[in-house]
Structure 1
Amino acid sequence: MKKIGFIDYFLDEWHAEKYPAMIEAATNGQMQVTYAYGKIDKPGGLSNNEWCAKKGIELLSSIEEVVEKSDYLIVLSPDHPEFHEELSELPLRSGKPTYIDKTFAPDRKTAQLLFGWASEHGTPMYSSSALRFAAEYEAVSREGIDTIFSFGPGKFENYSIHQIEPIVALMGSDVTRIMYTGTARFPSLLIGFADGRQATVNHFGNPTSFGTTINYASGEAKSLKIESDFFGSFIRNLVRFFETGEGGVDPAQTVAIITIIEYGLKAALSPHQWIEMPRS
C-alpha cells in the first residue's frame, strides 16, 4: 500500500473530507491517506486532532514528518492559496510526487516560483481544477473554437478557476488581455487571446450549475451542461499521476490560469477597460 500525506491550512474542509475515500475506492485500497498536517485548527470547526480522529488518519506535528513518512503528497488549502508557498516548499524539494490543490497560487510570481522549485529538485507536480476533467469537455473538439461563453456559481476569488481552467484547456494559454465587465455582485470577465479569439467567464447566484457554450469558426455551436462525475475523473487522473509522475497539465497553462485570476481581480478595479497581460 502506498501512503499519502495531506498538508493543509486546516483539515476540516471539503476536499480533505472527500479525497481519502475517493482515492481508496479508485485504487482498491492500494493508496490511502495515512498522515496529515494542519497549520491551524479551523475557526469554529473541528480541530485538526478531532478531524484526524474521526477519519482514522495520523496527525503529525510538522510538514517535515509528513514528507518523510509519505510516498505521495497532497497540499490542500483550496480556499487559501496564499499559504501554498509556505506549505509546498518542503514537498516540492522532496522529489516525491506532489499534487497542489486549486487554486494553485495567489499570483503569477508565486506560481512560477513553485514550478521552479519542482523543476530544480526533480519533483513531479501539477495542479488543476477538477472541472478540467469533466467528460463533457473531454468529448468536444478543440479545433476551430472561436469563442466560449462560460457560467457558474461562487465568488470570483476561489471559483473562477472552475471556469477558467476548462477555457484554457480548450483554447490554450496565449492570453494577451482581459476586461472586467461584471458588477460587484455578479462578476464577469472577458478574456482575449493573441489571435483574436475570446472567452467570457460569468458568475451567477446560487443555485447555478456549471455550463458552457462553445462557438466554432464554422458557425456551429455546442452548449454543455456539466453533469458528469468530474471529481471522479479528477481522482483517477490524480492516481495515474502518483503512479507515473505525469500529471497531464501543461505548466504554461497553469501559470496562465493563475495570471488570468490575478489580473482579473485587478481589472475589477477598472471595469470595461482592457488590461494587458504579462508575457514573460
Structure 2
Amino acid sequence: MGNEKSKQASTPPQECAQWRRMTWGNTEKERLMKEIRNLKPPGEEWSEFRILMHGQISAGKSSFLNTVGSIFQERIVSRAIVGVGSTSVTKKFTPYRLRDKKTGSHLPFALCDVMGMETRDGQGTHPEDIISAAKGHMKDGYEFNPASPLKHDPSEKPPVKDQAHCIIYIVAADQLSILSDNILDKMKRVRNELNDLGLPQVVLLTKVDAACPLVKEDLCNVYKSSYIKQQIQRCSQKIGIPITHILPVTNYHEEISLNDDIDVLTLTALLQILHFASDRFENVLQGFC
C-alpha cells in the first residue's frame, strides 16, 4: 500500500485536451502589443488604467511588472527590485508607468506595486493599506508601515483617476497548496471590501513552469496541463475569484533574452486585465459605481 501511494504521488502531471483557446508565436505577440498600445479608458477625462497588484512575498509581483516592461522595451529590464528572501523588498507605494520602445511614449496603464503580504500579523502590507490604495487614498511614494496602516478621512472620495481600476492578486502556482490560512484571510478581507466597490479582480497564477513539468518542458502546454487546470480550480475555491478571472503566467527570472511564448502568455493576461479595467470605467460612466 505504501509503495502504491508513493507511485501515485510521483506520477507526472498529465496532458489533457486544450481547455482554453490560445494562439502562440511572434505574429500573435505583435498583435497583442498593438492592441494594448491602442487601448485607452472610455471618457476624455481619464488618461490611464491604474492596475493595483498585491500578493504574498516572493509570488512574482514585481517580476510580473518587470516582465511586462521587458516585452515593450524589447530587452530584459529591472524597473522594480525583486526579492528572493522571506521579507518584502517593496517599501513604498509605486505606480510604474512603462515606456514603449516602438513609440517612445508611455503605455496607457500604470502597474501599482505594494509591499508583499506576510503570514504573521504586523509584518508585510496591511490589508487596510491595499484597500486604501484601491480607493485612491494612497499617494505615490507612501511608505508602508505594517504595524500602522494609512489613516484617512472616511468621508473623502478620491477622483476615479486616482482609484484602482482593476485589482490583481499574485499567487504562485507552486505555493498554492501551502498558502497559509492567515494569507488567505487577508486576501478575502480585501476581496470582500472591494466587492462592495464593484472593482474587477483578477488572479495571476505565476510560476506555472515551476509547478508543472509538462509546462516547464513547453510553455505552450499550459492550457493542456490537467495539473494547472486543477490549480486554477483550487485557487478559485480558496480565494473566491471566478475561474475566468484566473490567468496563468510565468515571469522572466533566469533568462537574459526575450522568449515569444513567455511574452504571449503575459500579454494575453495583461490585455484581459485592461479589458476588465475598461469595464470599470463603463460602469462609472453609467453611474453604477
> Under a length normalisation based on structure 2, what TM-score does the superposition of the two structures give?
0.34
* Greater fraction strand: 1
> Under a length normalisation based on structure 1, what TM-score does the superposition of the two structures give?
0.35
